[in-house]
């Protein structure tokens, strides 16, 4: 491996910066999930965590991961398209934690058929599904968190992708949904700012997760990204997690409504 390809972050950082803080992480599916990398990082900096999982199908794998953390973490089922799940989630978080400091949104979904072919052919149902799960859900989970964050202030981070503002072949309806998500970040930042709740987005370069591996030609995309990126490499999931940590933590106290790119300098390149 050349120097440029070697991970730059072999050093693992820990601190007490988040000691006594409580974080809810949405979107862990397995050990490769960006949400899991963020959870581990928050835990290493002292935070206490709660998790959601989408359905019984992944309950066991999430449970197994969560028991590897030093502090016991409550786990709640939550399909964001089910309002009763969101209500039960926050009833549970209130009972376990009383307050909440941080919320991490790592959820996206579009039908496979809408991530290929022509965007013009997107069905109404597929469009609505992608937007409901990937963008509208930020509002519903933020709404649940708001009363729990009011006392101490809080911070929310959502994961997004460059396909929101530039055309990335086949990202299609997910690009529209991410544009909506990013706009939601700004409107929420304005609305929750007076309560000292910050809201930001982390725009990650392509990472080989479960969601990514469902996409045909993903390995080619990683190669292309590596060739074009200023740092001549792909991003490591730990780098995405460190930025989410920074934004959530007091280090990010002056930042809200922003989208920060963790893409090894891909987006800045012209030719
Ligand atoms: P992942 O598959 O590990 O995570 C996606 C999560 O969304 C899963 O945990 C899944 O259970 C959850 N989800 C889907 N539908 C849901 C629903 N109805 N209710 C509740 N949860 C639901 O993949 P990932 O790559 O870690 O994705 C996390 C986030 O990162 C997503 O927002 C994705 O768009 C974003 N992102 C990914 C990449 C990448 O290349 N992997 C790049 C930039 C941004
Ligand atoms: O946000 C994402 C992926 C989100 C995603 C992935 C899937 C695969 C399986 C949403 N829905 C589904 N539905 C499925 O059935 N990324 C940023 C990763 C990604 O996805 C792409 C990309 C990149 C990068 C799709 C097409 C082109 C590029």
Distance CA 198, CA 196 (A): 6
Using the mean position of ligand 2's atoms as its centre, give its distance from the Cα of residue 195 in Å.
34
Q: pLDDT tens digit string along 157-169?
A: 999 999 999 999 9
Flag whether pLDDT at 3 surpasses 80: no
Going by the DSSP 8-state scheme, the letter that residue 99 receives in this structure is: S
Q: Whose CA is nearest to atom 15 of ligand 2?
A: 112
Q: Whose CA is nearest to atom 23 of ligand 1?
A: 211
Q: pLDDT tens digit string along 107-152?
A: 999 999 999 999 999 999 999 999 999 999 999 999 999 999 999 9
C-beta of residue 196 within 8 angstroms of C-beta of residue 154: yes
Question: pTM score, two decimals?
Answer: 0.97
Flag whether pLDDT at 9 surpasses 70: no
What pLDDT, on the 0 to 100 scale, is given for residue 6?
A: 42
Give the ligand 1 atom nearest the CA of 204: 43
Q: pLDDT tens digit string along 144-202?
A: 999 999 999 999 999 999 999 999 999 999 999 999 999 999 999 999 999 999 999 99
Q: Whose CA is nearest to atom 13 of ligand 1?
A: 107
Flag whether pLDDT at 10 surpasses 70: no
What structural domains and CATH numbers belong to the chain? 15-262 (3.40.50.720)
Distance CA 66, CA 221 (A): 31
Distance CA 62, CA 188 (A): 29
To 10 degrees, the CA torsion angle through 204, 149, 137, 247?
Answer: -10
Give 210's pLDDT tier (boundaries 50, 70, 90): confident
Spot the catalytic one: 53, 171, 261, 266: 171
Going by the DSSP 8-state scheme, the letter that residue 106 receives in this structure is: -
Distance CA 84, CA 53 (A): 14
Spot the catalytic one: 90, 127, 136, 161: 161
Ligand 1 pocket, 129 CB below 6 A?
A: no
């Amino acid at each position: 491996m050349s120097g440029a390809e070697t991970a730059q972050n072999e050093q693992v950082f820990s601190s007490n910066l988040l000691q006594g803080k409580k974080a809810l992480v949405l979107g862990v599916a397995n050990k490769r999930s960006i949400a899991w990398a963020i959870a581990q990082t928050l835990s290493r900096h002292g935070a206490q965590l709660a998790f959601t999982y989408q359905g019984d199908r992944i309950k066991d794998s999430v449970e197994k991961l969560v028991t590897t953390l030093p502090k016991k973490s409550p786990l709640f089922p939550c399909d964001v398209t089910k309002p009763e799940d969101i209500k039960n989630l926050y009833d549970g978080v209130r009972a376990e934690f009383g307050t909440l400091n941080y919320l991490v949104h790592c959820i996206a979904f579009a039908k496979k058929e809408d991530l290929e072919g022509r965007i013009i052919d997107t069905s109404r149902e597929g469009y609505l599904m992608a937007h409901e799960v990937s963008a509208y859900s930020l509002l519903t989970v933020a709404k649940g968190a708001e009363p729990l964050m009011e006392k101490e202030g809080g911070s929310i981070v959502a994961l997004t992708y460059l396909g929101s503002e530039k055309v990335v072949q086949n990202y299609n309806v997910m690009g529209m949904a991410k544009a909506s998500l990013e706009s939601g970040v700004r409107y929420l930042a304005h609305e929750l700012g007076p309560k000292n709740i910050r809201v930001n987005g982390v725009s990650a370069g392509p990472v080989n997760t479960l969601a990514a591996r469902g996409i045909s030609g993903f390995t080619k995309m990683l190669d292309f990204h590596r060739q074009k990126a200023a740092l001549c490499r792909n991003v490591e999931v730990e780098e995405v997690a460190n930025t989410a940590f920074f934004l959530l933590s007091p280090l990010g106290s002056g930042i809200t409504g922003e989208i920060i790119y963790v893409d090894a300098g891909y987006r800045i390149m012209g030719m």
